[in-house]
Structure 1
């Protein structure tokens, strides 16, 4: 089981490194499935079933968010992470896609010499609501990078 979790974590990081080779939806689905598989394996008694269910759910959510979010939306998430106090949401509507979002950052913390914040993103896309919990770290240039 430890080997599976370590493999899932490594694969997630590799997916992040090759993200330039795929479109946003594919990258979102890949990262979402890996994160979902890891969470599912850790929370279900039957590790294989949990990983499979988590991977499927994570892929769907990751695909939907990756497919719908554009640079405007990513900039708004960065703004929420950089400027909003913990627990205070930033809401916006994408003028091009009509999707609406609400991003609520948590308290910043240090990990591996980087500032991290967890963030809860609620999205309404084509009338369907989606909830995503992610983690982001702050680059030295002030930009934020979502890692899961």
Structure 2
């Protein structure tokens, strides 16, 4: 019973990724959880098998979905690191076909950290979305988008 509780919590965590919007990680978690539930039921023929399949499938699906986002994240990090201020650069994700244009602004210091704003245009499934983000370097020198 202890394992069922842990698996139920893991399932909820995996599926909660879908609650923030249609990220590829969240979609992957949902699809993985569904496939895992079916496989778990087919293999175990009981509720425990279904829960285990849901948890494992959801976690694997989330990891695969986030891996697809890595390319875009690397491109965005490159823009924060080396992008010329007020000059737009673009790329197309070769796996998804999604298009991005980023215009970084001048770097500045805030709370002893280097930060940089950027305007990001994305074209995903025919819809354009524009957001302005701020990223600051963490203690390891990596760019982190601020919420």
Does the alignment pair 1:74 with 2:68? no
**Deviations along 1:83-106, whole A, 9 cap, x unmatched?**
012111221001111100011110
Given the two structures, how large is their TM-score scaled by the length of structure 2?
Answer: 0.54
- The residue number in structure 2 matching 1:137 is 136
CA RMSD, aligned part only?
2.9
- The residue number in structure 2 matching 1:46 is none
**Which runs of 4 or more aligned residues in structure 1 lie more than 4 Å from their structure 2 counterparts after TM superposition?**
none
Correspondence for 2:17 among 23, 28, 37: 23
Change (3 A) 1:121 1:97: same
Q: In 2, distance between residues paired with 1:114 and 1:137?
A: 6
- The residue number in structure 1 matching 2:83 is 84
The Cα shift of 1:24 comes to 7.7
Q: For residues 55-74 of structure 1, what are the structure 2 equivalents within 5 Å?
A: 70-74=69-73
Which structure has the larger Rg?
2
Unaligned runs of 5+ in 2: 1-13, 24-65
- The residue number in structure 2 matching 1:110 is 109
Given the two structures, how large is their TM-score scaled by the length of structure 1?
Answer: 0.54
Unaligned runs of 5+ in 1: 1-19, 30-66
**Aligned pairs, how many?**
92
